[in-house]
């Protein structure tokens, strides 16, 4: 999945940078959990050098918000405690911005980009102290293999994701893949994070135990219907979205089963259906238009690799028409979980 799972770059009308309002609001709403985790960390581990990793941050206006907040919170807390601020291992313009916000005594800190998937090792053992990941872990490492087994594939007729009409085998394959990937993520980070280190993870989720609920499947049903109107059945039956929205109970269960971390806090953040356009001057057609651009920004690379680029304009125009004509509304749910690395 690594070569094709990427956001639409640039600054055009359909780019991720210009279609991440929903993510920005959810990031702001997750800040209380992030702040509490940082303050608790500062009160227990006053280190001279602190290494922070932000896993899965995309390009655009949200890229540095979380890291800026983490560093600023920690700097202010160390100053309150009468301690010399630590060195941070975390770009020139970014550093200048933080110095303007925190004063001339702020720093030093050092920034590096690490290529690779967070479903693999990224850092040396026990070198990280704080890990943040936002709006990324609902993406799986791969399409569940049962769905693309050429010898005996599980068929999910006319769908590109879980649906209420999906066979039990399709649902089970997605659940199994999520459990495998999330457990692997926890295991890998447990090797990289020092004892008592922290993680704050925010990902798309659902409040109900039912993985086929409209809350997590509705948009994918719309996109699947748009595909059905445009492409041959044979091509559609071979395309699946590598994605899964867990419920809080699933997160809790997998953390406990893996055993390297303890859940410190688990919160649900929910936004209304039309918040993709800011929730202002609600209009179904406008909401559908903005959601079509948002879905395209995060799915275009995967869709293009399977169906080609020529389908894109027609596909998302049809998605917009289908969504605008439908009266169903669900909340956009994010789960925010704060974890502590066991000693």
223-237 residue pLDDT tens: 999 999 998 776 787
* pLDDT recorded at residue 19: 46
Residue 2 domain flag: no
Average pLDDT of the segment spanning 253-278: 92
Residue 60: pLDDT over 70: no
Residue 10 domain flag: no
Residue 159 domain flag: yes
The answer for residues whose C-beta is within 8 angstroms of residue 121's C-beta and 6 or more apart is 188, 191, 192
Residue 6: pLDDT over 80: no
Minimum mean pLDDT among 18-32, 40-54, 110-124, 162-176: which range? 18-32
* pLDDT recorded at residue 98: 72
Q: How far is CA 1 from CA 166, 244, 277, 341, in A?
A: 23, 15, 30, 29
Residue 9: pLDDT over 50: no
* pLDDT recorded at residue 107: 66
- 16 pLDDT band (50/70/90 cuts)? very low
* pLDDT recorded at residue 268: 96
* pLDDT recorded at residue 334: 94
Q: Which is higher by pLDDT, 96 or 193? A: 193
* pLDDT recorded at residue 281: 57
Residue 191 domain flag: yes
Average pLDDT of the segment spanning 56-69: 69
Residue 4 domain flag: no
Residue 211 domain flag: yes
CATH number for the domain spanning 104: value is: 3.40.50.150
Q: Which is higher by pLDDT, 15 or 102? A: 102
Percent of the chain past pLDDT 90, that is, above it, reads 51
8 A C-beta contact, residue 222 and residue 326: yes
Residue 301 domain flag: yes
Single out the residue of 7, 1, 3 nearest to residue 148, CA to CA.
1
Domain count, the chain: 1
Single out the residue of 125, 128, 138, 130 nearest to residue 56, CA to CA.
138
* pLDDT recorded at residue 74: 83
Q: How many other C-beta atoms are found inside a 10 Å radius of the C-beta of residue 40? A: 16
Average pLDDT of the segment spanning 52-78: 77
* pLDDT recorded at residue 100: 77
Q: What is the mean pLDDT of the chain?
A: 85
8 A C-beta contact, residue 300 and residue 316: no
Average pLDDT of the segment spanning 312-340: 95
pLDDT in tens, 124-166: 999 999 999 988 999 999 999 999 888 888 888 889 999 999 9
Residue 151 domain flag: yes
Average pLDDT of the segment spanning 9-26: 55
What range defines the domain where residue 30 resides?
A: 16-112+123-341
């Amino acid at each position: 999945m690594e070569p094709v799972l990427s956001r639409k770059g640039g600054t055009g009308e359909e780019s991720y940078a210009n279609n991440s309002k929903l993510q920005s609001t959810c990031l702001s709403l997750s800040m209380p959990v992030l702040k509490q985790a940082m303050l608790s960390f500062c009160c227990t581990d006053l280190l001279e050098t602190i290494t922070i990793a932000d896993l899965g941050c995309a390009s655009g206006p949200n890229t540095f918000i979380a890291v800026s907040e983490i560093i600023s919170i920690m700097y202010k807390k160390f100053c309150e405690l009468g301690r010399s601020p630590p060195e941070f291992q975390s770009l020139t313009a970014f550093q200048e911005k933080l110095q303007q916000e925190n004063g001339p005594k702020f720093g030093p800190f050092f920034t590096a980009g690490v290529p690779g998937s967070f479903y693999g090792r990224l850092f040396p053992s026990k070198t990280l102290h704080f890990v943040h990941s936002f709006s990324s872990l609902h993406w799986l490492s791969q399409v569940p293999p049962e769905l693309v087994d050429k010898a005996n594939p599980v068929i999910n007729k006319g769908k590109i994701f879980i649906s209420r009409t999906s066979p039990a085998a399709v649902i089970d394959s997605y659940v199994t893949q999520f459990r495998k990937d999330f457990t692997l993520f926890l295991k890998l980070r447990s090797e990289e994070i020092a004892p008592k280190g922290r993680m704050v993870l925010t990902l798309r989720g659902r409040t109900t135990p039912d993985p086929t609920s409209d809350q997590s499947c509705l948009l994918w049903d719309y996109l699947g219907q748009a595909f059905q109107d445009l492409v041959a059945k044979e091509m559609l039956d071979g395309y699946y979205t590598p994605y899964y929205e867990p419920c809080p109970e699933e997160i809790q269960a997998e953390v406990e089963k893996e055993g390297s971390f303890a859940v410190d806090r688990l919160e649900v953040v929910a936004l209304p259906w039309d918040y993709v356009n800011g929730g202002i001057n609600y209009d179904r057609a406008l909401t559908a238009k903005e959601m079509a651009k948002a879905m395209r920004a995060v799915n275009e690379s995967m869709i293009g690799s399977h169906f080609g680029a020529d389908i894109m304009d027609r596909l998302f125009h049809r998605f917009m028409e289908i969504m605008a004509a439908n009266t169903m509304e669900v909340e956009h749910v994010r789960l925010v979980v704060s974890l502590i690395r066991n000693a």
